[in-house]
Chains A and B, each alone.
Chain A
Amino acid sequence: MHELSVALGIVKIAEDETKKANASTVELIELEIGELAGIELESLNFVWPSAVKDTVLENAVKKIIIIKGKAKCIDCDTEFGITHFYDACPKCESNFKGILKGKELRVKALEVV
């Protein structure tokens, strides 16, 4: 259940940034989470209420932008979508690839008042 650590990381970022902006609470938080980031959204949603309790995020709306996985084959340079790390290149079937997108785990923006 590393999602609790992740949620607390989000809370820390939100608290720090809200303070910096001299704001008192967050109304909307936008997160970018890649499909290959290793985050179970169900678990994140489950721990969310207890993680944000008594923080600037307590009443914030959480918006999650899912980023689909994308890789580039090292052998034939083909770019292709992936949903698993073990997906092979559709063109040459090589498993050697660089991950271009899908590992994101970011706080994109906060709307504070």
Chain B
Amino acid sequence: MCGTCGCGSETNGVVIQNPLELKNQQHHLQNHEHHHEHHHQGHSHGHEHTHEGHSHGHEHTHHKTVLEIEQDILQHNDIMAARNKGYFEAKNIFALNLVSSPGSGKTALLERTLKDLKKDLSFYVIEGDQQTLNDANRIAAVGIPVLQINTGKGCHLESDMIYDAVKKLNINDNSILMIENVGNLVCPSMFNLGESKRVVIISTTEGEDKPLKYPDMFHTSDICIVNKIDLIPYLQFDIEQLKENASKVNPHLQFFELSATTGEGMEAWYHWLKENRITLK
């Protein structure tokens, strides 16, 4: 069964696309049909298989064997993440996994960061969303190489998707890779992508108790960016309370307070990016 749409196909329904290449292609619809046919084949195949398996099982005499497995369920994801990490380290790529709720301003933060720093640093972007090429189009418009991963019904990126996308991106040494995860404050926390640092973004409109309500994401992150600080005058939002709550969950979190819209506070974030990329060398 595929984890994306729950159909019987063994192949994952994840689609990785380059927005610039797509503009020159008219085969889009055809591809879709192909995809569906594939699924149906998978279905019939799967059913035949199990029937054989059943009758087989009954012929045997029943003697039970206990297998002590002791295997991590996320082992496959962790192994692929380790492969990604090794690749990033060998090429001195600083990879960031950006996680947050939908609408906290991940893409806006990326757009601004890329526009302001693209002269000084080499960037690549992988966008993760369930549907659409919207985010990849926004990044492509800034002139940065980008791939869009559409996870279908999937609620998070997994390390094998990054593995496939990275191969297609052909990243130069000494670059920064920004991976914008699917907007979701719960599921992506469990899936290591092999990133150098995990950055959780929270906006001032989300309420200061989010780190307590969704602790896993804050527990596994290194950096916490508080976005939309320009809206604070209009909100009942206590930024110190937010930071206190997040620090309870993860005392090692480093904070940046900024507004991707007005540009306020962006300098400290840029400074951190440059510093960390250099220390990688």
Residues of A near any B CB (own CB < 8 A): 1-2, 4-6, 8-13, 17, 21, 23-25, 27, 31, 37-38, 50-51, 53-56, 58, 84-86, 88, 95-96, 105-113
Contact = CB atoms under 8 A, between A and B. Distances in A.
A46 to B, nearest CB: 12
Nearest to B158: A5
A70 B212 CA distance: 18
B155 A54 contact: no
A12 B216 CA distance: 25
Contacts of A88: 248
A27 B215 CA distance: 36
A108 to B, nearest CB: 6
Interface centre among B56, B66, B67, B189 (most CB of A within 10 A): B67
Interface stretch (B32-40, B42-50, B116-124): B42-50
B29 interface: no
A93 B221 CA distance: 22
Nearest to B154: A5
Question: 9 closest pairs, A vs B, by CB?
Answer: A2-B187, A24-B57, A86-B248, A85-B215, A110-B67, A9-B73, A54-B50, A85-B219, A38-B216
Residue among A4, A37, A51 with the highest chain B CB neighbour number at 10 A: A4
Contact of A109 (B57, B60, B66, B155): B66
Contact of A86 (B56, B64, B191, B215): B215
Interface stretch (B1-9, B168-176, B233-241): B1-9
Interface residues of B, number: 49
B21 interface: no
A54 B71 contact: no
Nearest to B248: A86
Contact of B73 (A6, A51, A56, A113): A6
A102 to B, nearest CB: 12
A1 B71 CA distance: 22
Interface string B52-73: 0100110010111111111111
Given A17-B69, A109-B68, A85 B249 contact: yes
Nearest to B187: A2
A2 B191 contact: yes
A84 B69 contact: no
A8 B249 CA distance: 29
Given A13-B71, A50-B1, A85-B215, 4 more contacts: A9-B75, A37-B190, A86-B249, A113-B60
B73 A110 contact: no
B245 interface: yes
Nearest to A22: B65
7 contacts: A6-B74, A8-B1, A17-B69, A21-B65, A85-B250, A108-B70, A113-B57
Contacts of B77: 9
Given A50-B6, A112-B67, A113-B60, A96 B189 contact: no
Given A51-B1, A84-B215, A106 B65 contact: no
B92 to A, nearest CB: 30
B76 A108 contact: no
Contact of A113 (B64, B74, B187, B247): B64
Contacts of B212: 84, 86
A25 B156 CA distance: 31
Nearest to B60: A24
A110 B69 contact: yes
